[in-house]
A and B are shown apart, each in its own frame.
Chain A
Amino acid sequence: MRAVTDSASGTDGAAGEGGTGVEDFIELDGVEKVFDVRRKVGFLRRERHQVRAVDSISFRVPRGEMVGYIGPNGAGKSTTIKMLTGILTPSAGRLRVAGVDPSRERTRLAQRIGVVFGQRTTLWWDLPLIDSYRLMHRMYRVPDARFRENLDRCVELLDLGELLDVPVRQLSLGQRMRGDIAAALLHDPEVLYLDEPTIGLDVISKAKVRGFLRDLNAERGTTVLLTTHDLTDIEQLCRRVMVIDHGRLLYDGALTGLHEVGESERTLVVDLEREVPPIELPGTRARTVRTQGPRQWLAFPATESAAPLVARIAAEYPLVDLSVREPDIEAVIAKMYADRSAV
């Protein structure tokens, strides 16, 4: 097995790994991170209390998967990423990336991971983009040919050609983000962590970044874990999504499955011939949530079929037109957070 991976990992690592079956690249078992927070209460007196930023999280990510990690601000997303990269040491639990403990082997693992922090750059602010790349080349000891190949690829796909000689501080947010993503990939990392990679980007930049990540995952088999606020990122990139809030994992599974867990509702928008009192359909779980002239909105559980409702409305009311609205994923997740907070 070793011979296979060694010879294959150079150019088509993903294909080589494919033969070894599903391998859990990232493993977390009951990982916790507790911060001691000291607050000033009066002169010199400090009050200590503990904040559980990550509370007993367990999950596994096989090699080559692309996972979305979402949650509101302060949910523990960034803390998780920091533990995965070895920046932070977990307070408890077991954490392995590529078989090693990131906090103990941080500098060695750094050769095998790429990190993009959306909010801050890993590039050298005052220097031209190409200088940062050249330094990365030497710092990560990437063979020259490999470096050239990776750089050319990133420059082409991320449209960096004209930016290479521009000092990083003069780049726009979208340009800088693309520059950062390239910087994280020059050493062929096996896993790429992205913390809010599309934050503050315009529509075109977002599309470009998403397209690039999708290709990267498909062609090179790079494992990708990304946190985001923008659910479109997840919808377009990830089949699997993890939802975290208050440091706990609320959901881990397919994006579509979120609807069932979140008890979300679909909406039937009904246009009638004239204004009538709110529609009532006894014996069904649909209820009218809003009326406006001849138009009415009925909510019903996302898991139920709309057909019987449509049939009954058509039979009992002067129906002109109707449409079904799928639940808003954002609303589903917001409901999830709200339910969680109520507990």
Chain B
Amino acid sequence: MAEDVAVAAPAEAAPGAGGRSGAEPWIPELSRGAVLWNGLRAYGLIVAMWTRSTMAYRASFAMMAFGNFAATAFDFVAILMMFSHIESLGGFSLSEVAFLYGTAGTAFGLAELVLGSMNRLGGRVRDGTLDTLLVRPVPVLAQVAADKFALRRLGRVLQGLLVLGYGLATLDLDWTVARVLLLPTMIVSGAAIFCAVFVVGGAFQFWAQDASEVQNAFTYGGNTLLQYPPSVFGRELVRGVTFVVPLAFANWIPALYIMGREVPLGLPQEVAFLPPVVAAVCCALAGLVWRTGLRAYRSTGS
């Protein structure tokens, strides 16, 4: 029955829209392409507002950012201590692990900076405040993503970059043009893949409001996983993060190629250049899941 209504609507929309007289002069007609721009613009506006408000208390911001940096820094200290007892981890030296850690940490840090608020969606569904986002003229995803934007999360990005710098400085890599170009590409693609995971994890909260822990398992858990060489994990797990949730393309596969190592699972070397493609596919799928989730919410209201 609902289908009938949906099908019938466009047919009569044309005369209705033509005959409408009350359009306010400054209301823009949004084409489909403009929706994306509108979303990015809204995201920027909200982020700017939160940043301005955080900057009102500079000292507090500085402390929070440092705390964030320190908390993640200790994480790497644990790895350093491990290497004071062992020579290599799963056949990887400290410098190589630092490289893996740094690329994963930076990519994940960027994604968390941009979309770290996604896990608050479930709470919004539960207490009904999501409705207040739905009555505004900008996409809901932009509003949820930018909500309580926390610039202090830059601390994690900074830590990732420092560890990456240490790795690069101590590794003796055979730099080809392809490898040089692949490094920034893999970080950006990796961030995009993690962003897709954040969005999918957020969208699941439309159905299960307490799913933010499941999301954390894939995002924060995935990040931790990628910081260690694949050789320390079971083959099945490596398969899972390659073919099911393709986190391996965020880090392992391109990073191993750059370090001149074998790509895991006996895949051909060329797959190391796939991250941008994988990221694009992941983002498209995430967008689809998000739309489905939002539609489900709008038909059930809970």
Contact = CB atoms under 8 A, between A and B. Distances in A.
Given A85-B134, A89-B2, A99-B20, A6 B25 contact: yes
B26 A143 contact: yes
A190 B135 contact: no
B3 to A, nearest CB: 10
A341 B127 CA distance: 30
Given A9-B25, A127-B49, A120 B135 contact: no
A107 interface: yes
A88 B301 contact: yes
A79 B24 contact: no
Interface residues of A, number: 58
B132 A122 contact: yes
Contact of A139 (B53, B127, B136): B136
Contacts of B300: 35-36
A94 B13 CA distance: 12
A94 B27 CA distance: 25
A88 B17 contact: no
B256 interface: no
Which among A86, A112, A138, A142 has the highest number of chain B CB atoms within 10 Å?
A138
Interface in A81-118: 82, 85-94, 96, 98-101, 103-104, 106-108, 110-113, 115, 117
Given A119-B128, A135-B46, A142 B135 contact: no
Given A35-B300, A100-B17, A104-B9, A87 B24 contact: no
A188 B127 CA distance: 28
A312 interface: no
A194 to B, nearest CB: 12
A13 B22 CA distance: 9
B63 interface: no
Contacts of B84: none
A108 B137 contact: yes
Interface string B115-152: 00000000000011101101111110000000010000
Interface string B77-117: 00000000000000000000000000000000000000000
Contacts, number: 127
Contact of A108 (B26, B30, B52, B299): B30
A101 B14 CA distance: 12
Given A91-B1, A99-B16, A138-B45, A111 B27 contact: yes
A116 to B, nearest CB: 10
Given A94-B5, A134-B49, A140 B20 contact: no
B302 to A, nearest CB: 8
B131 A99 contact: no
Contacts of A142: 26
A139 B137 contact: yes
B298 interface: yes
B42 interface: yes
Contacts of B234: none
Contacts of B35: 107
Contacts of A98: 20, 22
Which among A96, A115, A122, A139 has the highest number of chain B CB atoms within 10 Å?
A139
B176 interface: no
Contacts of B46: 135
B16 A35 contact: no
A127 B55 CA distance: 13
A99 B23 CA distance: 10
A88 B2 CA distance: 13
Nearest to B53: A127
Which among B30, B49, B136, B138 has the highest number of chain A CB atoms within 10 Å?
B136
A1 B52 CA distance: 45
Nearest to B143: A139
Contacts of B42: 139
A85 B45 CA distance: 23
Nearest to B4: A92
A121 B129 CA distance: 8
Contacts of B5: 90, 92-94
Contacts of A87: 131, 134-135, 298, 301
Contact of A92 (B1, B137, B138, B301): B1
B268 interface: no
Interface of A: 1-2, 5-6, 9-10, 13, 17, 20, 35-36, 63, 79, 82, 85-94, 96, 98-101, 103-104, 106-108, 110-113, 115, 117, 119-122, 124, 126-127, 131, 134-135, 138-143, 188, 190
4 nearest A-B pairs in the assembled complex, by CB-CB distance: A110-B137, A99-B20, A122-B132, A111-B27
Given A82-B301, A91-B1, A111-B27, 12 more contacts: A6-B25, A63-B22, A92-B5, A100-B16, A107-B35, A112-B27, A122-B135, A127-B49, A127-B53, A131-B52, A135-B46, A138-B45
6 contacts: A9-B25, A20-B21, A108-B27, A120-B127, A127-B49, A190-B24
